[in-house]
């Protein structure tokens, strides 16, 4: 049984560009949450998707958007990238309160 | 600003010693989770505690949830180099779907 998978593993972009990150949840999980983890900090909640709708959103600008597909997989889109968007982006899937994380996508913005 | 405060920030001990990591908040949580994270990887769930005063043991790791469900601790007995990593606590408030994380405690166990 595969756990949470994310792609790509690493990504390098320049300021102003747009990026799409992908996540496949653990089998049996219907909820996907996205977190941003800057170096030396704990993860910060971006938003959560359930039943293809954004159920809750953290304190992130509208440049951050997402989508959930009927098979529960999800995408995170970031527009107009800033240097400060460089971070590890984590996807977590859940069926109840426990959230299980993927390996993350390391985004570097130059 | 982190909703959950973890202490200490860094901990370096010799193999065989014991250690305790603390996680404190002024907020009440319906559940609290502990994760361990290796460099460049995602956090791995160690345990979930939901009842005030609850104590859970996972081999050499002991987790405690405070009576008021505002704080928690992780105690490792006879630490081994394999216990090295970033330990994160994360709380879920009632009527809240997100996890709020502490900044983490970096534990290094020297052989």
- For residue B91, give how far its alpha carbon lies from the nearest alpha carbon of chain A (Å): 10
CB of A27 within 8 Å of a chain B CB? The answer is no
pLDDT score of A27 more than 90: yes
Q: Quick check: A99 and B100 CB within 8 A?
A: no
Q: How far apart are CA A30 and CA A50, in angstroms?
A: 7
The pLDDT of residue B58 = 95
By C-alpha distance, the chain A residue nearest B42 is A103
Q: How far apart are CA B10 and CA A104, in angstroms?
A: 23
Q: What is the pLDDT of residues A43-98, one digit of tens each?
A: 999 999 999 999 999 999 999 999 999 999 999 999 999 999 999 999 999 998 89
Q: What is the pLDDT of residues B16-30, one digit of tens each?
A: 999 999 999 999 999
The pLDDT of residue A10 = 97
- For residue B5, give how far its alpha carbon lies from the nearest alpha carbon of chain A (Å): 11
The pLDDT of residue B3 = 82
CB of B41 within 8 Å of a chain A CB? The answer is yes
The pLDDT of residue B95 = 84
Q: Quick check: B103 and A97 CB within 8 A?
A: no
Please give the C-alpha separations between residue B59 and each of A10, B31, B34, B47, B105, in angstroms, as whole numbers. Answer: 35, 21, 15, 12, 20
Q: Quick check: B96 and A56 CB within 8 A?
A: yes
The pLDDT of residue A51 = 94
The pLDDT of residue A70 = 97
Q: Which residues of chain B have pLDDT under 50?
A: none
Tokens representing A24 are: 């496949």
CB of A7 within 8 Å of a chain B CB? The answer is no
Region label for B74, one of left (φ > 0), alpha (ψ between -120 and 50) or beta (otherwise): beta
Say whether A5 sits in a helix, a strand or coil: strand
Pairwise pLDDT comparison (A96 vs A4), residue with the higher score? A4
Q: Is the dihedral of CA A37, B79, A3, A98 positive or negative?
A: negative
CB of B39 within 8 Å of a chain A CB? The answer is no
CB of B9 within 8 Å of a chain A CB? The answer is no
The pLDDT of residue B2 = 57
Q: Which of A5, A10, A21, A42 to mutate to test the interface with B (most CBs of B within 10 A)?
A: A42
Q: Quick check: A56 and B98 CB within 8 A?
A: yes
Where residue A1 falls among pLDDT bands split at 50, 70, 90? low
Where residue A2 falls among pLDDT bands split at 50, 70, 90? confident
């Amino acid at each position: 049984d595969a756990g949470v998978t994310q792609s790509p593993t690493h990504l390098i972009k320049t300021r102003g560009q747009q990026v799409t990150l992908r996540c496949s949840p653990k089998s049996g999980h219907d909820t996907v949450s996205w977190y941003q983890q800057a170096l030396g900090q704990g993860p910060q909640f971006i938003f959560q998707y359930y039943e293809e709708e954004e159920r809750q959103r953290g304190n992130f600008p509208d440049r951050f958007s997402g989508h959930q597909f009927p098979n529960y997989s999800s995408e995170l889109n970031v527009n107009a990238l800033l240097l400060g968007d460089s971070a590890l982006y984590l996807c977590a899937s859940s069926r109840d309160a426990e959230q299980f994380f993927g390996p993350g996508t390391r985004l570097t913005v130059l | 600003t982190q909703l959950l405060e973890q202490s200490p920030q860094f901990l370096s001990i010799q193999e065989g010693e014991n250690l305790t990591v603390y996680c404190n908040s002024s907020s009440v949580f319906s559940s609290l989770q502990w994760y361990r994270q290796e460099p460049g990887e995602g956090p791995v769930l160690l345990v979930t505690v939901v009842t005030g005063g609850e104590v859970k043991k996972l081999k050499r790791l002991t987790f405690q949830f405070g009576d008021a469900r505002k704080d928690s601790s992780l105690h490792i007995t006879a630490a081994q180099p394999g216990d090295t990593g970033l330990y994160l606590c994360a709380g879920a408030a009632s009527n809240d779907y997100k996890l709020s994380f502490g900044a983490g405690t970096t534990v290094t166990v020297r052989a």
